[in-house]
């Protein structure tokens, strides 16, 4: 069955970088986009960006442009999200999710368990 599994919790200092992985199981990896969504404590969902695993093209939310990089490794069916110049406001759960699509739309049909990234001096 379809499953996405993320790497474990991270604790980082301000100014550092974090790289979270998302390994896909149970479907054709290159056939579906993978998205990254974050959720600060007690807050709503915030879309960060996505990658097309087939060609590697990416699209990022303006808020994260220049600070986030999403990559993929088709040999291991894994997507990575790299967030740089971390600040305390980046403390959040980070989720990857598979994107399914229809006519002029995408939705997120399978989600991973989430990774807590804590940023503190």
Partner 1 sequence: SYVVTQPPSVSVAPRKTATISCEANNIGSTRVHWYQQKPGQAPVLVVFDNSDRPSGIPARFSGSNSGNTASLTISRVEAGDEADYYCQVWNVDSDHVVFGGGTKLTVL
Residues forming contacts to partner 1 in the complex (CB under 8 A) are: 35, 37, 44-47, 50, 59, 61-62, 95, 97, 100, 102-109, 111-114
Least distance (Å) from partner 1 to the CB of residue 75?
A: 26
- Answer for the pair 115, 22: CB distance below 8 angstroms, yes or no: no
30 versus 61: smaller Cβ distance to partner 1: 61
Nearest to 20 by CA among 81, 66, 73: 81
Q: Provide the token pair at 115.
A: 């990774």
Is the CB of residue 32 less than 8 Å from the CB of residue 79?
no
Q: How far apart are CA 82 and CA 103, in angstroms?
A: 30
CA gap 4, 110 in Å, rounded: 7
How far apart are CB 3 and partner 1 at their closest, in Å?
12
Quote the least distance from Cβ 38 to partner 1, whole Å: 11
Q: Which of residues 73 and 109 has its CB atom nearest to partner 1 in the complex?
A: 109
Return the number of the residue (59 or 74) whose C-beta is nearest partner 1.
Answer: 59
């Amino acid at each position: 069955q379809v499953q996405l599994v993320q790497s474990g919790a991270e604790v980082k200092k301000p100014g550092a970088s974090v790289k979270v992985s998302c390994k896909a199981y149970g479907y054709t990896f290159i056939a579906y986009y993978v998205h990254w969504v974050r959720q600060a404590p007690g807050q709503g969902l915030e879309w960060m960006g996505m990658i097309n695993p087939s060609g590697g093209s990416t699209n990022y939310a303006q808020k994260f442009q220049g600070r986030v990089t999403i990559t993929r490794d088709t040999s291991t069916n894994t997507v990575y999200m790299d967030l740089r110049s971390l600040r305390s406001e980046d403390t959040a759960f980070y989720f990857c999710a598979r994107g399914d699509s229809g006519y002029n739309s995408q939705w997120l049909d399978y989600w991973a368990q989430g990774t807590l990234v804590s940023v503190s001096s």
